[in-house]
Amino acid sequence: MRRLIVLLVSLIAAPAFAGSLDELKSFLTNAKTLKANFEQTVTDHNGKVIQQSTGSMEFSRPGKFRWQYVKPYEQLIVGDGVKLWLYDPDLNQVTVRKLDKAIGSSPAALLAGDAEIEKNFNLKDAGTANKLTWVEATPKSLESTFERVRMGFAGSELSMLELKDNFGQNTVIKLAHVQLNNKPLPAAFTFVPPKGADVISD
């Protein structure tokens, strides 16, 4: 689950763009905040389900986000604009990294970063499938741990994210109850390590 640190945040409810990448980039410029619930499924290279989880996410671009796993295990990932905090309640352990180092040329840079996504990604119209309109992004950096990210839109909302990593695993994230450009509470994007927690700087 730690590897999915790179998945966090934006691009979540775009106008219907009928295959237009220009409208996608317009959304990245105009969408400032988003809040949604999610269901996440990870499968191996044979298609076998190896992990399922649910939770909620919230972001305020650029660089502020909250990604909270609820089931089957609790985990909290917070980006405050400068640092990225990962908290594991069961271990009472906090891992903290510089946000730009943690995101890099990853799906999070596509989702939580600025609107100039073509600096780090090649974009293409991926057509329609399963009643969704798809855009595909592939990282330009050879150091990225992901081969591609696909974003599926249903009408005016981003409904699904599909990510394939370099290990052959696929992650599908289905979004629900999406709220675009809401006014998030500032406390959502701050994190203070709990008393007694083991804090590790990565």
pLDDT at 11: 38
Residue 61 DSSP class: T
pLDDT at 69: 93
CA angle 173, 127, 23 (to 5 degrees): 80
Is 200 within 8 Å of 94 (Cβ atoms)? yes
pLDDT at 52: 95
pLDDT at 29: 63
Q: pLDDT below 70 — which residues of the chain?
A: 1-31, 101-118, 155-157
User: What letters, b where the CB count within 10 A reaches 16 and e where it falls short, cover 139-165?
Assistant: beeeebbbebbbbbbeeebbbbbbbbb
Question: What is the rounded CA–CA span in Å between residue 110 and residue 27?
Answer: 12
pLDDT at 71: 93
Question: What is the rounded CA–CA span in Å between residue 154 and residue 160?
Answer: 9
pLDDT of 53-107, one tens digit each? Answer: 999 988 887 778 888 999 999 999 998 888 989 999 999 999 998 887 666 545 5
Q: Phi and psi dihedrals of 55, rounded to 5?
A: 175, -155
**Greatest CA separation found in the chain?**
52
List beta partners, residue 42: 51, 171
SS3 186: helix
Q: Look up the pTM and report it.
A: 0.79
String of DSSP letters for 18-37: TT-HHHHHHHHHH--EEEEE
pLDDT at 85: 92
pLDDT at 179: 86
pLDDT at 145: 76
Radius of gyration of the chain (CA): 16
* 75-80/64-71 β-pairing: antiparallel
